[in-house]
Chains A and B, each alone.
Chain A
Amino acid sequence: DTGVSQDPRHKITKRGQNVTFRCDPISEHNRLYWYRQTLGQGPEFLTYFQNEAQLEKSRLLSDRFSAERPKGSFSTLEIQRTEQGDSAMYLCASSLGQSDQPQHFGDGTRLSIL
């Protein structure tokens, strides 16, 4: 399968714990995006990378959220000290570098906070 891969698909954790999600983009895509989707809503942009550079992170929901893409390939999204309101689907997408190129999405990681 050459699509965007996300791991894990589901994560259940207790409030206050840290969680980390992984995204493997389509191999030739140099842009990688993270979104959050809550029930009944469209995806909400969080951050994006061009290769290993994080070019936009002001939309990260709080300082508890951070993302990395150390070698310009896979990326991780970490949420520290999780809260009930963090329960959502976290989606990763990747694209080629031109702005007119569509983003291709993974199947997401569903986070449930107990």
Chain B
Amino acid sequence: AQSVAQPEDQVNVAEGNPLTVKCTYSVSGNPYLFWYVQYPNRGLQFLLKYITGDNLVKGSYGFEAEFNKSQTSFHLKKPSALVSDSALYFCAVRAPSGSARQLTFGSGTQLTVLP
């Protein structure tokens, strides 16, 4: 079975500082990995994905993520945080084939950027 762990329920960072939101995963085979952001009372908004290729992927709003196969991690990063980045962030994994085509999400990390 596939699973995702987001070890930090809450991350606080000062505006202008770099931010990291951690994610580790477990899946059979090569993973498809995704990051989503959720604002209050809204659905999830796609940020970026890793399918294959370069381990550093860039996405929307200046976010990027680094895939590390040996550590089974896919941490979300941004060089300089904005107050408007404050939201709930979800990491998700999907197996590339087989019956487990659905996304499995982590429990989320609440990011607060302090002015």
Contact = CB atoms under 8 A, between A and B. Distances in A.
A59 B99 CA distance: 12
Most buried by B among A33, A56, A104, A105: A105
A112 to B, nearest CB: 13
B101 A56 contact: yes
Nearest to B49: A102
B45 A56 contact: no
Given A56-B99, A56-B101, A91-B44, A99 B106 contact: no
Interface in A1-30: 4, 6
Contacts of B43: 4, 6, 91, 93, 105-108
A64 B1 CA distance: 25
Nearest to B32: A100
Given A99-B94, A100-B32, A107-B41, A45 B46 contact: no
A41 B107 contact: yes
Range, interface on chain A: 20 to 34
A107 B104 CA distance: 19
Contacts of B99: 56
Given A102-B46, A105-B43, A105-B45, A42 B90 contact: yes
A48 interface: yes
Contacts of A102: 34, 46, 49
Interface in B33-47: 34, 36, 41-46
A4 B45 CA distance: 11
A51 interface: no
B44 A56 contact: no
